[in-house]
């Protein structure tokens, strides 16, 4: 199984003033993220505004990122949705394009039971040879994938990881303890990176790494080297930024944060709206 690293960035999707994907800004963003400590790019996830991207746009974005990255780091494509058949089709096309893995979110809105969640992920995983990362985010999908379901899914050969954004460290501990050998768990929240590492988690799928990628790498490295006090101090220093990037719906603040460090990631698509002036000031002060 390909090694995806410890700090994965859930990449924003840059849009131009007319609301179309801006590929020239995307290229600049890719170079910025690679230079700033990102081990893997996760494309067209929540932070990439996946709900407002058409399948065709997602495929164009995957193709562009694959070509520009040119195998320097791995690329995970967000191909999950609440439509199993459509997710299978998108996953197969993403595999043809040459992505290195896929991320599949727990189906939102339909509210399936645990058996439905299991069958959904199993069907998609069996339709591809790519490594599959599950994505549990009950705050957005309403349903929470249970420990038992994750453990059962971990037995499927190409399901290699879960991105856990439930915030439930007890559940995460049980997953790490009971999943198959080699299955890894990533924190879906920057703010609990150290607690997740301390219970045996592998790393973080990060939003904050857009602006503090190298610092996130240092944080993980310090902890893994047993320099817990140094890691804790750095965590305390970075936490206001991690929290500040969620003063409005993600990815609105992180696009403003990128702008403030000189990386133009464009605007957001409706139903998201840009930050108000006082919020922009707050983000700018935070990054000073």
Bridge partner list, 40: 8
Closest CA to 12 of 274, 279, 266: 266
Tell me if residue 108 is catalytic.
Answer: no
Cβ proximity of 216 and 204 under 8 Å: yes
Active site residue 186: no
Catalytic residue (one of 58, 163, 186, 255): 163
List 93, 118, 135, 255, catalytic entry: 135
Which residues are known catalytic residues? 135, 163
């Amino acid at each position: 199984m390909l090694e995806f690293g410890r700090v994965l960035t859930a990449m924003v999707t840059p849009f131009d003033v007319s609301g179309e994907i801006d590929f020239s800004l995307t290229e600049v963003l890719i170079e910025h993220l690679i230079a700033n400590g990102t081990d893997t790019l996760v494309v067209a996830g929540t932070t990439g505004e996946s709900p407002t991207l058409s399948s065709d746009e997602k495929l164009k974005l995957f193709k562009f990122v694959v070509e520009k990255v040119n195998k320097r780091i791995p690329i995970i494509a967000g191909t999950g949705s609440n439509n199993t058949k459509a997710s299978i089709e998108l996953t197969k096309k993403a595999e043809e394009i040459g992505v290195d893995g896929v991320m599949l979110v727990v189906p939102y809105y339909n509210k399936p039971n645990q058996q439905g969640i299991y069958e959904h992920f199993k069907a998609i995983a069996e339709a591809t040879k790519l490594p599959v990362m599950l994505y549990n985010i009950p705050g957005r999908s309403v349903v929470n994938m249970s420990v038992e379901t994750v453990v059962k899914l971990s037995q499927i050969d190409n399901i290699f990881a879960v991105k856990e954004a439930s915030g439930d460290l007890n559940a995460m501990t049980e997953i790490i303890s009971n999943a198959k050998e080699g299955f890894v768990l990533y924190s879906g929240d920057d703010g609990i990176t150290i607690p997740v590492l301390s219970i045996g988690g592998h790393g973080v799928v990060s939003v904050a790494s857009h602006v503090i990628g190298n610092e996130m790498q240092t944080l993980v490295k310090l902890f893994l080297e047993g320099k817990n006090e140094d890691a804790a101090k750095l965590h305390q220093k970075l936490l206001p930024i991690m929290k500040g990037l969620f003063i409005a719906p993600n990815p609105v603040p992180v696009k403003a944060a990128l702008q403030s460090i000189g990386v133009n990631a464009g605007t957001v698509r409706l139903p998201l709206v840009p930050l108000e002036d006082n919020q922009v000031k707050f983000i700018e002060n935070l990054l000073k």
